[in-house]
Amino acid sequence: MSARLNKATGVGLLPAEHDSGRQADDLRQVLLLDEQAHVLRIMRLNLERSHYVVDTALNADLVLRLLQAKPYDALIITSDLPDMCRQDLYERVHDQLASRRSSEPMARQPLLMIAGDEDDDWLNQVEDAERLTNPVSLKWILNRLERVFGDVDSPGEH
């Protein structure tokens, strides 16, 4: 299964063969953010192989639009984005999710994972997000997703 990235928008495109007889509602939705397209491609491919539906974004504006459009099970921020640093993006995302929860009490809160350096004091104050160490470990992310969401079965296996 190959992942494609729309270079104009920074949105990850789902492969046509993605569904394989499985309903999209059964799959965990992940929004992945990084400033480098090649990093997004590698991480997306590995997450999709583990049976997650992955949207990707290269800029903060797109992240906020995607979060408004649909609920995600996990939001993974692996670097600063060209138009906004991780701290500012986290604050905007946090406000947007809080607003959604106030208008939709049953709205799910996504698992937030944010990469940071040891000297990122702001990240130490964040209570609703998990800290990823730099360099980011894809294996750690996959293990954490599996612990939170359980074993995601293969497409077509119900």
Domain boundaries, the chain: 25-148
pTM value? 0.76
Of residues 9 and 110, the one with the higher pLDDT is 110
CB 30 within 8 A of CB 55: yes
Of residues 12 and 95, the one with the higher pLDDT is 95
Residue 21, pLDDT above cutoff 50: no
Of residues 15 and 145, the one with the higher pLDDT is 145
Here the tokens at position 141 are 């992310």
- How far apart (Å, rounded) are the C-alpha atoms in residues 11 and 62? 8
Query: Which CATH number applies to 25-148?
Result: 3.40.50.2300
Of residues 119 and 39, the one with the higher pLDDT is 39
Compute the average pLDDT of residues 142-147. 91
Tell me what pLDDT residue 82 has: 86
CB within 8 Å of 66: residues ≥ 6 apart: 11, 31, 55, 57, 72
Residue 54, pLDDT above cutoff 80: yes
